[in-house]
Structure 1
Amino acid sequence: MPKDSVRRFWLVLTASFVMTLAAIYVSLTNGAFDIAVMDVLRTLFRIDPVPDYDLIIFEFRLPRIVIAALVGFGLGVAGAVLQGITRNGLAEPGILGINAGAGTAIVLFMFFFQGQITGSGWLSILAMPIFGMIGGLGAAALIYLFAWRNGRLDPQSLILVGIAIGSGFGALSLYVSLKMNPQDFEMATVWFTGSIWNANWEYILSMLPWLVILVPIIIRKSYILDIFQLGEESATGLGVSTEREKNVMLLCSIGIVSACVSVSGSIGFVGLIAPHIGKRLVGIHHNRVIPVSGTIGMLLVIIADFIAKTVFSPVELPVGIVISIIGVPYFIYLLFKAKV
């Protein structure tokens, strides 16, 4: 790797981290109740802590910021992987139907259990994320079932099947939600549009292992995505077991997306925008694109969540709507660019 490329990569990665830290600082200190930066530091480092500040920072703001960061990072990484596997710049996690599968499972959970399982402990807290993850993995199983062609996973069929399965799950979710009582229907609608308002430390612990285990696997195999850009025949000629590597990378990205969606709802376009920005900044090599896409996704979701909870205060927008306001025009721009 040329020295200039390495220097540029570390410069971009450092700049994105610095901007993320700035966004975290703004989100921690500003809101319906502003807190001075020194009070935040005293609370975080346990120097004469104040119970009111403890409640605001540790129970409301900090878990929300951490969830936003993890979800943004995961969706950015998964989007880069999916675009690399399919060799399609318009691919993103929502297109594969994973979001819709998780959404259907969540809606069924809300319909049958009114959004919670009675009792105490982790089961009652993590029930919704567990249902969401089961739904996302179930959607992935259906995608594999219908996209498998002649003993291999066809990248183009993968997208078409994902769109079809997503539409089917979306229709089922709508049907079930219309049978709900008004309170549960409102909860389901907020979740569908992507929201992290109910973030807590248990949700963070439920998704963190997936990122800790799967992201290093993806980064370690990132060179495979570079080889895939040459075409499957060329990759096979270079000695790459294309089907095995494709399945490993796809399953890793599906696991990450399912974990993210299970705690945040359906947040679209992060997996589309972040990899494109990353490629513009550091080039096309995936060992650089993947970590940069993750940090850019992290920054996007943190900023979008801050906008969602403050701009129209006391009314709060779902973070998915804020990102869609940016994502839809960018998606249209990419479509027009692809036709030129």
Structure 2
Amino acid sequence: MIKSSPSTRFWLVFLLTCVVTVCGMYVSLTNGSFDIPISDVLQTLFGIHTVAEYDLVIFEFRLPRIVIGAVVGFGLGVAGAVLQGITKNELADPSILGIHAAAGTAIVLYMFFFQGTIKGASWFSVMTMPLFGWLGGLAAVMLLYLFARHRGTIDPQRLILVGIALGSGFGAITLFISLKMNPNDFEMAVVWLAGSIYSASWLHVMTALPWVIMLVPIIWSKAKMLDLLQLHEMSATGLGINTERERGVLLICCVGLVSACVSVAGSIGFVGLIAPHIARRLVGIHYRFVVPACGAIGMAMVVIGDFIGKTIFAPAELPVGIVISIIGVPYFIYLLYRARKK
């Protein structure tokens, strides 16, 4: 049996994952509270024979939701790969390390003080929310660096413990602030914090998309550096690498991705944990393959998870963050058990 090259295996996995995502988009676009035949969907998309009801459902409700799910999934998958790479910890994840919670706290603070709502927000407020989330995420990273360092290096066990503590702390602050809101904003904040994209709009797509377009290529260009960071600290330094600077740049990019995703979709956890594990099993350990594979796998997870959430209890909807958490929590316990056995 001839073994395929890493490049061939990557392209096979990447294309297959994209096909699965497109299938999920197709099912989500044609199915819902009422079904639309694929012929009518194509005619509406290409403007061949437009029907007002189909235009409204497809362009205002379903398509923005699908696109934002794909963008958020891609961003969170890449962010998870970066965090696991720079910490050399397979349990690292934006939600487990408290970055999600910190970004969410900053955005809820914005909502509270500026009376902005996540749904139906103005262009200015939607575009500035990722910046607030970015500041919150940076605060979480600084606290992680402060409390998880041991003898000048990041201790993987401390990192997880500090991250869980930070997540709990920022979550408590977010809940306290939410309780001070008026009832309408509180309801929106609670639904949003559960990780929901059910009322996404093109405005939210334009909020997150520039961050993903800008930051993912920077991360991918540093794939070789992520490979070298897997070496022992002394070995990497001996090769002339400024490990602290490289980790700092990658962390800032990672926080930017997470903050943009949290600002439009709330806290969708475990995508950044599961996607890198699946990617490494399928395409190997080289980050020039792992980074895009993680993005594609994360994209498929959120698109399919959102479809499951909106159909399994129809007409009620289950936020995609809860759907993925139902899968993610047992997987996280399995990883902890496996790490303990090593």
Q: TM-score, normalized by length of structure 1?
A: 0.91
Tell me what 2:95 maps to: 94
Residue 224 of structure 1 deviates from its aligned partner by: 1.3
Partner Cα distance (1:3, 1:205) in 2: 39
Residue 299 of structure 1 deviates from its aligned partner by: 0.2
Contact map agreement 1:129 1:203 (CA 8 A) in 2: no
Q: Which moved more, 1:123-132 or 1:234-243?
A: 123-132
Offset from partner CA, 1:179-238 (integer Å, 9 cap, x none)? 334433322221121111221111111111111111111111111121122211111112
Contact map agreement 1:133 1:262 (CA 8 A) in 2: no
Tell me what 2:80 maps to: 79
- CA RMSD in angstroms comes to 2.3
Counterpart residue identity of residue 46, structure 2 = F
In 2 relative to 1, CA 75–33 (structure 1 residues): closer, same or farther, beyond 3 Å? same
In 2 relative to 1, CA 285–125 (structure 1 residues): closer, same or farther, beyond 3 Å? closer
Question: Is residue 45 of structure 2 the alignment partner of residue 44 of structure 1?
Answer: yes
Please list every run of 5 or more consecutive structure 1 residues that lacks an aligned counterpart in the other structure.
none
Question: Is residue 149 of structure 2 the alignment partner of residue 154 of structure 1?
Answer: no
Tell me what 2:271 maps to: 270
Offset from partner CA, 1:15-68 (integer Å, 9 cap, x none)? 011111111100100000211101111111111211111111111111000100
Q: Which moved more, 1:132-141 or 1:41-50?
A: 132-141
Please list every run of 5 or more consecutive structure 2 residues that lacks an aligned counterpart in the other structure.
none
Tell me what 1:239 maps to: 240
Percent identity over the alignment is 64
Residue 154 of structure 1 deviates from its aligned partner by: 2.9
Partner Cα distance (2:121, 2:312) in 1: 36
Partner Cα distance (1:84, 1:178) in 2: 37
Question: Is residue 293 of structure 2 the alignment partner of residue 310 of structure 1?
Answer: no
Contact map agreement 1:80 1:289 (CA 8 A) in 2: yes
Contact map agreement 2:126 2:207 (CA 8 A) in 1: no
Partner Cα distance (2:335, 2:122) in 1: 46
- Counterparts of 1:228-307 in structure 2, within 5 Å, are 228-307=229-308
Q: Which moved more, 1:171-180 or 1:214-223?
A: 171-180
Contact map agreement 1:85 1:155 (CA 8 A) in 2: no
In 2 relative to 1, CA 189–209 (structure 1 residues): closer, same or farther, beyond 3 Å? same
Offset from partner CA, 1:70-128 (integer Å, 9 cap, x none)? 100000001011101111100001123221122212333443455439x9952255465
Counterpart residue identity of residue 41, structure 2 = V
Question: Is residue 122 of structure 2 the alignment partner of residue 116 of structure 1?
Answer: no
Contact map agreement 2:21 2:300 (CA 8 A) in 1: yes
The count of corresponding residues between Structure 1 and Structure 2 is 337
Residue 301 of structure 1 deviates from its aligned partner by: 0.2
Counterpart residue identity of residue 51, structure 1 = A
Counterpart residue identity of residue 237, structure 1 = G
Question: Is residue 217 of structure 2 the alignment partner of residue 216 of structure 1?
Answer: yes
Q: TM-score, normalized by length of structure 2?
A: 0.91
Partner Cα distance (1:226, 1:73) in 2: 21
Offset from partner CA, 1:140-165 (integer Å, 9 cap, x none)? 45445656778x66364554443333
Contact map agreement 1:153 1:243 (CA 8 A) in 2: no
Q: Give the match's secondary structure for 1:316.
A: coil
Offset from partner CA, 1:226-271 (integer Å, 9 cap, x none)? 1122211111112222111111111111111111111100000000
Tell me what 1:65 maps to: 66
Counterpart residue identity of residue 205, structure 2 = I
Partner Cα distance (2:338, 2:148) in 1: 28
